[in-house]
Amino acid sequence: MSGRPWREYTWSSMAEADRERILARSNGKVFDPELLRSVGEILEDVRANGDAACSRALARFDGCDVPPERLRVSEGEIAAAPAQVPAPVRDAILYGIESLRRFHTRQTREREWREEIRPGLVVGEKLTPVTRAAIFVPSGKASYPSVMMQLGTPAVVAGVPEIAVIVPPAPGGAGEVDPAVLFAAWELGITEIHRANGPAGIAAAAFGTESVRPVRMVVGPGSPAVTAAQLLVQTHGVVTNMLLGPSESLVIADDGADPEFIASDILNEAEHGPDSASLLVTPSRALVDALVAIVERRLAELPEPRRSYARSSLTGYGGVILVDDLTQAAEVANAHAPEHMVVDVRDPDALLPLLVNAGEILVGPWTPISAGNFAAGVPAALPTGGFAKVSSAITAQTFLKATSIARASREALADMAQCVLPLCDHEGFPGHAASFRARGVGE
């Protein structure tokens, strides 16, 4: 509809091409063959030439002069960081880390269990942390100490012994890293920090260089190029999360929602960048009409480039979708599977059982996305691009691996013979059956 700061659709009559674009977001950029090819060249350069390639990538893509011997952030720089961070920012980081510690500690409270599932047969599981992991903390459009908190805290709570941080330095400088990021790492006890361009840094962590020992897991959000790098290193046996790409949100609201609140909610993720997706899904035409002037006013109050980012988001992969009712709103939300979902309706408890695909669900007028991003303790490193249909946030569980355990008595082994021996014979594994018969079972 003309004169509105967003694209507007009606779900029941929405053109298929519009549905596909909204649901796909910017995923096509991540899987673009040319991007994958160019990122692949960076990865191969780092694999072949190590730290020298990382320095070249910083000079080429970020305009930074960082020789190989300065790629690792020194202990002195980390120790000096707290004094360089304003007190309110330090306090905010401490608040956020404490909330996150409580969430992740509660989530992983049970690390080991046992249960007798048949007479004499005890099974169980124990969770142990991965030995070494890398976390990628992006920068570029902004610096993100909150990402350092969101990724570092669950890794520490999980008990990962070795945590390497990859962070791009400020563009155009001599390798400066935001002291707030360093302070968050310092507070978490993380001291291995490497400055590197995004894709080159992912490669350094995956393959190892003179200054970076390789890892088997690397996680963290970033640009399409960073996400592409994470996709590519999976072919070399490195575990990554799918996908942590451009920010996105979906707000479900009805006519009981405060338009001022909703306007702020739909602009929250829209200001991240032109690839971001910010959607309002509502059955209320009255709410949509009330938002026009408010969103225009709030857009005018944003500084550049945030204002342009937000406008691009609302007219690109975002906008307003009108639905028949809240049941259809849940259908749209589940099809989209957003990173962040806000539910601001009169009876959220009736709607929540219908919502099954989302990185997080923030319920009610007093739980905006920014609360989840910084202070509430819930994970904010969330799957994007519809991958909330099949994957979850980065949590302490991300850094834990499960080992199953079983212990059987002779009587339990004899009981299992009725299952094991027929299947061994059917599948053609006489050696498997022999492990039972050697114990005098199944003769």
Q: Is residue 66 within 8 Å of 284, Cβ to Cβ?
A: no
**At which residue do the structure tokens 């989209």 appear?**
336
Select which of 187, 248, 269, 339 is catalytic: 339
Cα dihedral sign, 191-392-36-278:
negative
Domains of the chain: 8-26+246-373 (3.40.50.1980), 33-109+129-236 (3.40.50.1980), 409-443 (no CATH)
According to DSSP, the β-strands at 360-363 and 340-344 are: parallel
In single-letter form, the type of residue at position 47 comes to R
Q: Is residue 180 within 8 Å of 85, Cβ to Cβ?
A: yes
User: How far apart, in Å, are the Cα atoms of 35 and each of 47, 223, 231, 386?
Assistant: 18, 11, 12, 20
Beta sheet of 121-129, edge-to-edge order: 112-118, 121-129, 400-408
Q: Along the 443 residues of the chain, how does pLDDT read in single tens digits?
A: 457 999 999 999 999 999 999 999 887 788 889 999 999 999 999 999 999 999 999 999 999 999 999 999 999 999 999 999 999 999 999 999 999 999 999 999 999 999 999 999 999 999 999 999 999 999 866 789 999 999 999 999 999 999 999 999 999 989 999 999 999 999 999 999 999 999 999 999 999 999 999 999 999 998 889 999 999 999 999 999 877 878 899 999 999 999 999 999 999 999 988 889 999 999 999 999 999 999 999 999 999 999 999 999 999 999 999 999 999 999 999 999 999 999 999 999 999 999 999 999 999 999 999 999 999 999 999 999 999 999 999 999 999 999 999 999 999 999 999 999 999 999 999 999 999 999 999 76
What are the φ and ψ backbone dihedral angles of 25, each rounded to 5 degrees?
Answer: 50, -135
How far is Cα 49 from Cα 67, in angstroms, rounded to an integer? Answer: 14
Helices (H), 245-324: 259-270, 285-301, 306-315
**Cα 395 from chain centre:** 9
Q: Output the average pLDDT for the chain.
A: 95
Select which of 340, 411, 426, 427 is catalytic: 340
Q: How many CA atoms lie within 13 A of 433 on its CB side?
A: 14
Verify whether residue 432 is a known catalytic residue.
Answer: no
pLDDT single digits (tens) 15-30: 999 999 999 988 778 8
Q: Which residues of 345-428 form beta strands (DSSP E)?
A: 360-363, 400-408
Q: How many CA atoms lie within 13 A of 377 on its CB side?
A: 12
Burial class (CB in 10 A: 0-12, 13-18, 19+), 288: buried
Verify whether residue 271 is a known catalytic residue.
Answer: no
Helices (H), 326-409: 326-336, 348-351, 369-374
pTM as predicted: 0.93
How far is Cα 363 from Cα 359, in angstroms, rounded to an integer? Answer: 13
